[in-house]
Amino acid sequence: MLSVIRQAKESAGAPGARLRARWSRRRLLEKLAGIPGVYIPSFYSVEYNKNGGVQSFTALRPELQSCVRRRLAPDLNDAFFPTAPVVPLAEAVHERGMLEVFRGCTRGCRFCQAGMIYRPVRERDPRTLLRQAREIIDKTGYEDISLVSLSSLDYSDLDGLLPALGDQCTLSRTGISLPSLRVDSFSVGVAQKLPGGRRTSLTLAPEAGTQRLRDVINKGVTEADLLEAVAAAVAAGWSAIKLYFMVGLPTETQADLEGIGDLVRKAQRAGRSARGGKKLRFSISASSFVPKAHTPFQWEGQLPRQQLTESHAFLRDLVKSSGADYHWHDIKTSFLEASLARGDRRLAEVLFEAWRRGCRFDGWTEHFNFDLWQDSFRAAGLDPEFYAGRRLSYDEVLPWDLIDVGIDREFLVREHRRALAGVATADCRLGSCEGCGVCPSFGVEPRLVKASR
């Protein structure tokens, strides 16, 4: 924010000289609005229709565009990246250095907001990454460095990067970790070879129990991929596996829930056979589907809470009968998340009310008070169900249409229709452009260090 203010002040006069000038809040907002990518809500009005949805947006100043366009860094090698972050004295949750290998992901999972709004893929050169990793380790003293991208093992020059990074990290006795793995034996093999890479538990996310539903969400993972990954994990010495699934996905049926039970049993068998008859510890984690803005599933509603509760209870019994643990994400929290994820600016009042009534640290179950949130919605005269559960139509104005992320609406509609028909869409890194619109819209291209493998 400070750099944006600096930019606003510098664009208004001589660089540096005016930085100390005091501007009124109004003047500052006016100047900030002139910077591409900055959204000042009070400079737009929203009109609502009779059913409570958004009817239109109006820019209140003639110089403003009808919507706000996000900014995009075409080449991450030139972009700022913090290599000397503040290191807290207290133990932090993620106590490691972060190395952003690339930005964007075009695998095209249809529920994933990050996979849509950060397109196209822009990889950093290995030399930039090695330099940044060295600086992070030198300046922070962290003993672990994490490759944080949406699917880090999709980096096109992994064969060039990892050995060099591994050598550098071995010298400084730094481990390399990966926040998520693709569901395949290749990824497991790579993770095992990383310095400090083999830990007790490995996490894989097939997301859905049947191939039909995995095609609906465009997950691009098969049962064979999962079973091979489990066998590879055993061969690499892992003794516990966590599997992630989502409940309440669009078009889900009872057969899809039963499919999760089947898949878990098959994975257990694959693990036991790879361990010479010894059992592998499995833990199953399931969240509830939350429709997100700017994704092909933005028009889908979340299932009613009662139905989600029944689905999770059914799955818990199914999974526990096979001897695996089952954990599910709190349904009320997911409901609240869905209400906010597809909300409009009227929810600002709900947030303020909730804060006023004492809601704090709601992500921690011991602090989460659903009643307070319901009271806050009531006080604002709004219904959370309206935002979370309503199925939206293609022709209605969406509250987030005011923000242009560069993805064509037609592409999202096409992807939604393909989802309902169970048709997968390929990753544009591996073949031709799938026409999401972001590259022509920004005049950029995906930046891969190496052509697709």
Interaction site with ligand SF4 (CB under 6 A): 106, 119-120, 428, 433-439, 446
Report yes or no: 219 and 208 within 8 Å, Cβ to Cβ. Answer: yes
Q: Which is nearer to ligand SF4, 101 or 359 (CB)?
A: 101
CB of 444 to ligand SF4, least distance (A): 8
CB of 407 to ligand SF4, least distance (A): 8
- Let me know how long the chain is: 453
CA distances from 1 to 4, 8, 10, 156, 307 (A): 5, 11, 14, 33, 43
Q: Which is nearer to ligand SF4, 111 or 245 (CB)?
A: 111
Task: Name, in order, each residue with C-beta under 8 angstroms of 417's C-beta and a sequence gap of 6 or more.
Answer: none
Amino acid sitting at position 41: P
Provide DSSP, 271-326.
HHHHTTT---EEEEEEEE----TTSTTTTPPPPPHHHHHHHHHHHHHHHHHTT-EE
CB of 425 to ligand SF4, least distance (A): 9
Q: How far apart, in whole angstroms, are the C-alpha atoms of residue 181 and residue 161?
A: 17
Q: How far apart, in whole angstroms, are the C-alpha atoms of residue 241 and residue 32?
A: 49
Element (DSSP H or E) covering residue 417? helix 409-420
Q: Which is nearer to ligand SF4, 21 or 430 (CB)?
A: 430
Q: Which is nearer to ligand SF4, 120 or 209 (CB)?
A: 120
CB of 439 to ligand SF4, least distance (A): 3
Amino acid sitting at position 409: R
Residue 216: closest CA among 11, 416, 443: 416
Q: Which is nearer to ligand SF4, 258 or 408 (CB)?
A: 408
CB of 108 to ligand SF4, least distance (A): 8
Q: Which is nearer to ligand SF4, 171 or 430 (CB)?
A: 430
CB of 452 to ligand SF4, least distance (A): 12
CB of 121 to ligand SF4, least distance (A): 7
- What are the two backbone dihedrals, phi and then psi, of residue 58, each rounded to the nearest 5 degrees? -130, 125
Residue 298: closest CA among 120, 110, 160, 163: 110
3-state secondary structure of 206: strand
Element (DSSP H or E) covering residue 222? none
CB of 441 to ligand SF4, least distance (A): 8
Helical spans, DSSP H, in 107-198: 114-117, 126-140, 158-171, 185-193
User: What letter would DSSP give residue 26?
Assistant: H
CB of 74 to ligand SF4, least distance (A): 12
- What are the two backbone dihedrals, phi and then psi, of residue 178, each rounded to the nearest 5 degrees? -125, 125
CB of 146 to ligand SF4, least distance (A): 25
Report yes or no: 234 and 280 within 8 Å, Cβ to Cβ. Answer: yes
Q: Which is nearer to ligand SF4, 140 or 156 (CB)?
A: 156
Q: Which is nearer to ligand SF4, 362 or 404 (CB)?
A: 404
Q: Which is nearer to ligand SF4, 120 or 206 (CB)?
A: 120
Q: Which is nearer to ligand SF4, 48 or 442 (CB)?
A: 442
